[in-house]
Chain A
């Protein structure tokens, strides 16, 4: 990987290799509690303590009420329940930590206790849990039973056609919520309308938000385009909060304001935001997060977007940073909040670190595993690249399948993908035309339908989008106009889907904790509560869902392997003829090398794992043997398909005592009749990278052994390819075809092999 020409003589060159790994682009920070760089143990973290007199908090976590900052005040007045506090604070933290991982202690008992605990107490409890305990506790404590996921839908041009198409894809993939934002803030109305239309394609009920400036976001929500919001950020120190231009009271006001408009909302907080804003007070990430989360519950938010969020890349520069993110997410669900558990801002250039970070959430489940999975390509993500993006989407689908863990997503077929994209683009075009906003020409539409990302599109420029957006805003267009336009232009299903979503706000059912929509029904912590009490309880994928998780693209099975072989058969029949000449007898010729073929060789199977026609492999071996002065004889064995036994059996019938065993998949061995079965002379075990030249050299060597020489073994060089991953499924299926053909006492058959034409 590294050019060694410039290597310094006094450096182990492995360090050069390590320097080239993507991991080394990540920068790591030393633990420094005085300067805010500590995940769990800040220099100024207080010890848990609480005094209450006459029902009022007189001191909390070492601060007396007279010295409370506004965050302390908010928590003391609106989070702490004096009726619970005495009992809760008296419990040793270690005991509470054990209760969190005790499957016999119900979730409700713990959420009740949390209402009587101070931030320092909550932090002290979860800090005692290891990564696996945090994961388990998270799985037990999260509010809604069924896990879900949220995706970003944005693009670099703010192109509405692409937004509609990509929103439809996100819906097809199973995202419960989709979130957009803009490159140009004035494009917010266009983004909102476009995603809204796209999200109505295929199925109803995908919640949608448009992240923009507070007042505008609420207005867009009131126009009915969006159904949820998560931009209400809170911070764990007073100065950071004030620099964020808000207070707990102003944020609580917004929390009520969203509810008053029938819009689902959650707050946002995450480790290291205070550090990024320069006001960390030398306190740990976890303790400050505990303050944020107590505040959010106290504000009456149903949930939180939590787990580092924009601060995740900074939090994870520290020792224990990823464990801290798990710990803060556990705090969120322990406080009975819906948790959109971060895993959005990409914290590392290392794909291994990214994959490792998602795993606890995937196996534990989460209300929304990512609070922004990039459904689009990285460069199109206007929030910044996510942990997982359009590029890595199939990796996530396979992780779901590997662990039989429900990450909320499902696979999409090529034809379905194209169909929903086309439908979304057509629907938006109709709405644009009907509402007098714009009329995209067919070439623009087609370029978007097939585009993987905005680099591929020939569509609107950001400036043109601004005009459309301005028209939507000034014409006071609402979702009712959009529904009407869809219905009028024949997009009945999309109109119905959109109306279904907008009607949800009338009852307010989706304002309850952890609400999403599945199969036209609201699912929340009220009617789908997490009831985990040990194995067999809590969320388990249904058999139907298990099959959905398994159904990734391009899966091999026996039928598929035999179909591919059958397709190859005709070509092989034109190249080679195998004639059975009856039972094979031992040979006497001292230069004779027997090539022992497996039972299915040339019968049901016709090429090696490397893709060589078996006729070409036979020819290469024969040429090699003859070139080195040997005589090649071919025998088919029917009692075994094992390479070693094929080789040994062949050697036993060879006049020279040297034989070659050859399987259809290309694995080959040189054997001598006097050796033990698995102690061969030479072996080609890596059939997928074995070339015809290797087989020819193999033949030469076999003939050399026959003469009693000791040739240089043929080495098939590997560059570390994961050959097992690439080939073992096919190898096992092919090999099973061969073993099925074996019969006990099957007689070796002499073969006359004729080359009909040279196959290469």
Chain B
């Protein structure tokens, strides 16, 4: 079954489709135990959500009629493996007045698309660049 076929009937995945659920290093839910933590086999990395899980949740949200939520999960899937400092740096760029000109946001979009394989996020940056230009947000604030 491909992930896009998932529906509300498969939810919660951890209970109804546990075979589909894997941590970021491929461990199954049943392998995430106190003993495995004690022995050092399981760490924070194994408790992270994966792009795959986010796309599965997107399919479920979409099947329940929540398109906007589904699109957010799909965008999140693109961000899941981007390092935290990068995520926060991109966020900072989107705040008013942080980018001094439109090109900075467009460059960020290119980076998202090319370096991080994040086309939805890139398109989102391009849209922001357009809006910020129209609304005069490329101005110094502090």
Contact = CB atoms under 8 A, between A and B. Distances in A.
A480 B21 contact: no
A513 B70 CA distance: 11
A259 interface: yes
Nearest to B50: A506
Nearest to A262: B49
Main secondary structure of the interface of A (DSSP, over half): helix
A238 B131 CA distance: 12
A298 B66 CA distance: 10
A250 B14 contact: no
B53 interface: yes
B14 A111 contact: no
Interface centre among B90, B124, B128, B141 (most CB of A within 10 A): B128
Interface size classification for chain A: 35 or more
B29 A506 contact: yes
A487 to B, nearest CB: 5
Nearest to B56: A508
A479 interface: yes
A484 B40 CA distance: 10
Given A245-B96, A249-B127, A297 B68 contact: yes
B110 interface: no
A254 B84 CA distance: 12
Nearest to A249: B128
Contact of B14 (A300, A302, A496, A504): A504
A507 B13 contact: yes
A77 B60 CA distance: 23
B137 interface: yes
A102 to B, nearest CB: 20
Interface stretch (A371-379, A521-529, A632-640): A521-529
Nearest to B93: A250
A302 B69 contact: yes
Contacts of A511: 54, 57, 73
Contacts of A18: none
Contact of B48 (A70, A78, A262): A262
Interface in A394-440: none
B98 to A, nearest CB: 9
Given A77-B127, A260-B87, A505 B47 contact: yes
Contacts of B137: 70, 242, 247
B11 A260 contact: no
Contacts of A260: 49, 54, 76-80, 82, 87
A299 B75 CA distance: 11
A714 to B, nearest CB: 70
A255 interface: yes
A215 B88 CA distance: 7
Interface in A466-495: 478-480, 483-484, 487-488, 492, 495
B131 A249 contact: yes
B84 A218 contact: yes
A506 B23 contact: yes
Given A256-B72, A300-B72, A527-B11, A247 B95 contact: yes
Interface of A: 69-70, 73-74, 77-79, 81, 108, 111-112, 214-215, 218-219, 222-224, 238, 242, 245-247, 249-250, 252-262, 297-302, 336, 478-480, 483-484, 487-488, 492, 495-496, 499, 502-509, 511-513, 521-522, 524-527
Closest A-B pairs by Cβ, 5 of them: A300-B72, A262-B49, A259-B76, A250-B94, A260-B79
30 contacts: A70-B135, A73-B131, A73-B135, A218-B87, A223-B44, A224-B44, A224-B47, A242-B137, A249-B124, A249-B131, A250-B95, A250-B96, A253-B94, A259-B73, A260-B54, A260-B77, A261-B80, A484-B38, A487-B34, A488-B38, A503-B14, A506-B23, A506-B29, A506-B50, A507-B13, A507-B53, A508-B57, A508-B73, A512-B11, A526-B64
Interface of B: 8, 11-15, 21-23, 29, 32-34, 37-38, 42-44, 46-50, 53-54, 56-57, 60-61, 64-73, 75-80, 82, 84, 87-88, 90-91, 94-96, 121, 124, 127-128, 131-132, 134-135, 137, 141
